[in-house]
Amino acid sequence: MLRAIAICTILFCIIIPVSGTIVTYIPDDESISSLDVRDISESHDGIIAFATTNGLSLFDSEWATIQAEPWEYDTGLQDNYIQTIEYDKYNLLWLGFSAGPQQYDGITFTRVGTDQIFSTMPIHDILRDNDTIWIANGNSGLNRLSGGKWEWIRPFADNGPGAYYITSMAKDHATGNIILTTHLNGVWKGVSEGKEIQFSQIPIPEEKFGKMTRVVDYPFGGVILFNDNTILYYSESGGIVPITDSAALGFGVTRINDVAVTEDGVFVIGTNNGLYGYHTYEIIIHITRNTNEITNNEVTKVFSDSKGRWWFITKGEAGYYQSDNIPEKIPVTIVNEYKSDNSDETGSSPPIQVPVHYV
């Protein structure tokens, strides 16, 4: 009996080595302003922006934080509680609040839209689609800005999604389709037909996978859908492919909080039991308070930037992991579909997957 207990203890204490650097930051006046981070985005010139509940924090080798000031109502940040952010094609930062959006050009904040468009509706998500901006707001579905004109995509209209409350959006870079998750009404895709767009529901077997609550980009085409327990890949031609779930990540994982995918195809997964790097159906990195320089296992937010850093937010710190072996970027063959390493394909070696970005 004692021998069996000893073997189990050894199995649960296996440590996956971390070959890289971990840098962490504690909130203060010269660091990130809060660990309650609602969204993360990267500018074209590499600035990492953090939407927090205590202002806008920016990282570019050093930290800076912008907070709302009552005497800057017309040109300053309108609220410290920022719900979502996104850089557009022109490197303007879009910010979503509980009462509409703003733009930030690096100097001045500008109110976007009109009271007739956004009123006091909260902004749930903002998505850049080349020179078009999509905004999910309130219980009114979607608005998009294209060619300088606003258009309301009416919920339950002939061409609109069958949902009032859109929770997240992502672009399928292989097809150009817009993929939505909703609060109550499943997953939808928007297919552009000239200047028009037509939404239809994507069938997800919720009895098997549960309700999908978030969608994020997959750089090789298709998108990643996830909830607290399951991560799926969806493509137009291949349908649904399971990636992993909380049980497969191992002992101690009961909740998946956030997911991002790096340019070389690694899934960065934030859980209640630390940060995971997951690639080709196996865990390649596991960062926890027991093995590395973090103080809390609850990883609430993750983000992969263009320099290969895996940003993470815990209840104890913000920080990033950077591998010692960052792959060199070389010209390779483009593929649009997700391929598992368990494929039955034979013959010549499969092409290397590289990010596909339709603009």
Dihedral sign for Cα atoms in the order 9, 10, 14, 15 = positive
pLDDT of the residue at 38? 97
Please state, as a whole number, how many other Cβ atoms lie within 10 Å of the Cβ of residue 303: 21
pLDDT at 148: 86
Tokens found for residue 129: 């689609």
Q: What secondary structure does DSSP assign to 279-307, as a single string?
A: ETTEEEEEE-TTTSS-S-S-EEEEEE-TT
Q: Is 124 helix (H, G, I), strand (E, B) or coil?
A: strand
Helix %, strand %, coil % for the chain, to 5?
Answer: 5, 45, 50
pLDDT at 322 over 90: yes
Quick one: pLDDT band at residue 15, thresholds 50, 70, 90?
very low
pTM, full prediction? 0.86
| pLDDT value of position 13 | 37
pLDDT in tens, 47-91: 999 999 999 999 999 999 999 998 787 889 999 999 999 999 999
Class level of CATH domain 248-325+355-359: mainly beta
Would you state the structure tokens that stand for residue 354, as one six-digit string? 């590289």
> pLDDT tens-digit profile of 289-309?
987 779 999 999 999 999 999
pLDDT average, residue stretch 200-226? 96
3-state secondary structure of 116: helix
* Band of pLDDT at residue 117, cut at 50, 70 and 90: low
Are the CB atoms for 201 and 220 separated by under 8 Å? no
Per-residue confidence band for 7, with pLDDT thresholds at 50, 70 and 90: very low
Domain ranges of the chain: 33-130, 248-325+355-359
